[in-house]
Amino acid sequence: MKAARAVLDYLKQGGVEYIFGIPAGSVNAVFDELYEMPEITPIITKHEGAASYMACSYAKYADKLSVCIGSSGPGGTNLVSGAANAMREHLPVLFFTGSVPVPTMGLNASQELDAQPIYEPITKYSVTVQKAEDLLDEVVKAVEIALSGVPGPVHVALPIDVQLEQVEEKAIPEFPVREHVIPPEETITQLAKELINKEPGYLFVGQGIRGSSELVMELAEMLNWQVITTPQAKGYIPDNHPLLAGIFGFAGHEYASELMNEGSGKTLFVIGSSLGETATNNYNNNLAKDRYVIQMDFDEDVFNRKYPVDLPVHSHIKTGLTMLIEQLKAMGVSHTPYEEKRAFSTRTEEYNTQNVLFKLQEMLPVSTRYTIDIGEFMAYVVHHMDVYEPNTFDINVHFGAMGSAIGGAIGSYLAEPNRPVTCITGDGCFFMHGMELLTAKEYNMPILFVVLNNARLGMVYHGHSLQYQRAHERISQDAVDIAAMANALGIKSMRVESMDDLHVEAMQALQQQDGPMILEVDLVDPNIPPMGDRVKFLSSFGK
């Protein structure tokens, strides 16, 4: 059999259902083999960058290995942003790039690029395979690395002659199963004692609690401690939980900021956060000041990175919290459920970003997952939109790639096709990856794409205005009718120019069709986005 087929048989055995990317000469052997493999569907995108974000989102929500492929040269470099994103989010994505035939390497062949060193700093493993008999073994090794320890992306460059060469058939290796880090029982016992004996404090949770929301809420109720989340963790703790104090960090809430900066809590239990810039309000020293700091994470490299940690707990989050709760119960700590409370937000009739998002949420199912792009609207989502069901907001402020939520919506849909998906994006992001609407159309994906169109790079505009008291005129541009563009692509669309345009009947009419939909919101919001302490930070420049 061809070496490419051996690799695909291995991936099929491991439950791989999709390969995201674009066909090209340097990877044509892989795509040719897919003709005979209905178990694996190629998701042919319009840009490899978007394919990489789809693969990341799929890995996140399917909770398994995802596969992405690009050609040699430009296809491979277009995947780089997605690989870097996967590295930041600890997502197991296998990136394949094509390569020129081995005998032509170094001879300036068409689209030749040595991709291996490019991927080395942004993946857990990067290799170029130069012998067909080594290809399957290298892919097996890469997959094991992607799924072991702290999950992450890996990269394998596939010269086209290596893909095509015949190899001896042999037994398909077993697909690896991710093994979770289990903390020592004595560490959990010590942790339980500290939580009981130390002065009360706060639970500060990051996106690492994905899949463990119920356990976090149970722990908070047992301790009667308030929960503060990072922006990246929005969507994991329902806003109507009475112990939720809000979001600290970018676009966070004043009350959460007050607790972190001036609150009486003397213990800070950090769960599933690497304590990066956006989570800590530019590395605010008040988080750990005069507090006993506990940090639980599956990545031990995050301990003592910026803030001194008194008790590090290296553990898979769900496993560690389960063990901790059982230990607290054994020590006599009881669990008292709390009644739901009213969430944060208030509504008016003014046509602004905040109220548009509120109205949108009223008209969509509670189970809808929102993939949130990068732009000024993101601050409104983080600060104002209410979450009632865990794991329904996907906000990537870590790597912060514009347009990533468009591909992210497609990956999310493929991972959970029975869950409604809505992408909230802006015109700047749309002009980067908006043609993936066609990908959603071609695969008949009923995703709602909401484009807030203010004809400018909004976050850049406000950042410059706050920092320099001026913004270059070219940050804005002539308005484009995105709904009309969607219609030209054969995609149902609706354009909103006032709050009166946004009503249930119009939304129902928009959704009465197969495939994707565009809801364009024509709105230039004069208000400064609710970026929290980030506004003070930017405004302080030059003073």
Integer CA distances (angstroms), 27 to 75, 87, 89, in order = 10, 24, 27
pLDDT score for 493: 95
pTM, 2 dp: 0.92
pLDDT score for 106: 87
Whether the per-residue pLDDT at 542 is higher than 60: the answer is: no
Secondary structure element (H or E) that encloses residue 482, with its range: helix 482-488
pLDDT score for 526: 78
- The residue ranges of every structural domain in the chain are 3-164, 185-330, 353-539
Name which of 61, 55, 14, 232 is nearest 154 in CA terms.
Answer: 55
Homologous superfamily of domain range 3-164: Thiamin diphosphate (ThDP)-binding fold, Pyr/PP domains (3.40.50.970)
Whether the per-residue pLDDT at 92 is higher than 70: the answer is: yes
pLDDT in tens, 52-71: 999 999 999 999 999 999 99
CA atoms within 13 A on the CB side of 8: 26
Instruction: Identify the CATH class of 185-330.
Output: alpha beta
DSSP reduced 3-state for 119: helix
Name the fold adopted by 353-539.
Answer: Rossmann fold (3.40.50)
Name which of 211, 210, 206 is nearest 229 in CA terms.
Answer: 206
CA–CA separation, 50 and 414 (whole Å): 14
Same topology, domains 3-164 and 185-330? Answer is: yes
Whether the per-residue pLDDT at 485 is higher than 90: the answer is: yes
CA 74 vs. chain centroid, Å, equals 24
pLDDT in tens, 454-481: 866 656 655 666 677 777 777 778 888 9
Q: What is the mean pLDDT of the chain?
A: 92
pLDDT in tens, 289-322: 999 999 999 999 999 999 999 999 999 999 999 9
Mean pLDDT of 394-403: 86
- With cut-offs at 50, 70 and 90, classify the pLDDT of residue 513: confident
pLDDT score for 205: 98
Whole-number percent of the chain with pLDDT over 70: 94
Whether the per-residue pLDDT at 345 is higher than 70: the answer is: no
Check: CB of residue 132 under 8 Å from CB of residue 1. Answer: no
